């Protein structure tokens, strides 16, 4: 198995980030620092260390979807003492989230220990849709919708296009469906900030064919076989 795939399969990072760890000299195989991206390891016999920690492949893979509440972060620990989504999951295995949702965003997040599965979901070439329900203060005009759909310009750089569809205006708040494909850092919040709109609630409800459905806030459940095979096939 190629070394970068081994690191990814151990849950260290995506393959791209694993390659950078190798190039930075942070990986040892049988006590020797390895910096060649073409290195192949025997996962049953070779001792592989990354940043001083010995790695081994999981005995089995797990795949969960979680309805992340506001007030949680998507890291295994936090220097500020904030709650993490992993405190919700009763597992002794090393798990990681596929992508992130910020502290004040809620909704669908995928949790696994399968690096190849994670890489298939987040790789830019996959162009997987991510759908959010956005609630903003006030009403939104057709011209503002056109700006969001074309990609807002932020500091002279145009952000990616989005599919934006109003759902309901109740006289005070507007609910919209927003579909994006790339998932830049805080992309949706930045989009609405750029047109002067205040987000009251931001919730992700779908990643490709994986939907949040009726999953209660703060609860999780395993992905179905169809959801897993959709990602891996």
What is the DSSP track for the chain? -BHHHHHHHTTS--HHHHHHHHHTT-EEETTEE---TT-B--TTT--EEETTEE----SS--EEEEEEPTTEESSS--TT--EEGGGTS---S--EEES---TT-EEEEEEES-HHHHHHHH-GGG---EEEEEEEES---HHHHHHHHH--EETTEEPPP-EEEEEEE-SSEEEEEEEESS--TTHHHHHHHHTT--EEEEEEEEETTEE-TTPPTT-EEEPPHHHHHHHH-
pTM: 0.79
Of 102, 114, 170, 226, the catalytic one is 102
Q: Are 96 and 114 found together in one domain?
A: yes
Q: Are 135 and 199 found together in one domain?
A: yes
Q: Are 190 and 225 found together in one domain?
A: no
| pLDDT value for 13 | 65
Q: Are 187 and 216 found together in one domain?
A: no
Q: Are 223 and 169 found together in one domain?
A: no
Query: Is-catalytic flag, 102?
Result: yes
Greater model confidence, 93 or 149: 149
Name the residue range of residue 41's domain: 3-54
| pLDDT value for 56 | 81
| CATH number, position 183 | 3.30.70.1560
Q: Averaging pLDDT over each range in 2-16, 36-50, 144-158, which range is the top one?
A: 144-158
| pLDDT value for 106 | 97
Confidence of residue 78 (pLDDT cuts 50, 70, 90): confident
pLDDT per residue over 138-161, tens digit each?
A: 999 999 999 999 999 988 899 999
């Amino acid at each position: 198995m190629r070394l970068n795939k081994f690191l990814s399969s151990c849950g260290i990072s995506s393959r791209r980030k694993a390659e950078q760890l190798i190039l930075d000299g942070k990986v040892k195989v049988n006590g020797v620092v390895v910096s060649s991206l073409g290195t192949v390891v025997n996962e049953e016999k070779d001792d592989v260390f990354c940043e001083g920690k010995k790695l081994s492949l999981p005995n089995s893979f797990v795949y969960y979807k979680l309805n992340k509440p506001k007030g949680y972060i998507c890291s295994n620990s936090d220097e500020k003492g904030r709650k993490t989504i992993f405190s919700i999951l009763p597992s002794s295995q090393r798990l990681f989230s596929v992508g992130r949702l910020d502290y004040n965003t809620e909704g669908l997040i995928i949790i696994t220990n399968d690096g190849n599965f994670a890489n298939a979901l987040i790789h830019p070439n996959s162009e997987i849709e991510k759908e959010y329900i956005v609630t903003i203060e006030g009403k939104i005009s057709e011209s503002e919708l056109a700006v969001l759909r074309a990609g807002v310009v932020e500091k002279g750089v145009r952000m990616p296009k989005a599919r934006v569809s109003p759902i309901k205006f109740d006289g005070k708040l507007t609910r919209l469906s927003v579909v994006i494909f790339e998932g830049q850092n805080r992309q949706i919040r930045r989009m609405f900030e750029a047109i002067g709109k205040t987000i009251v609630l931001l919730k992700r409800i779908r990643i490709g064919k994986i939907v949040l459905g009726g999953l209660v806030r703060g609860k999780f459940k395993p992905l179905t076989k169809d959801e897993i095979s959709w990602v891996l096939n």
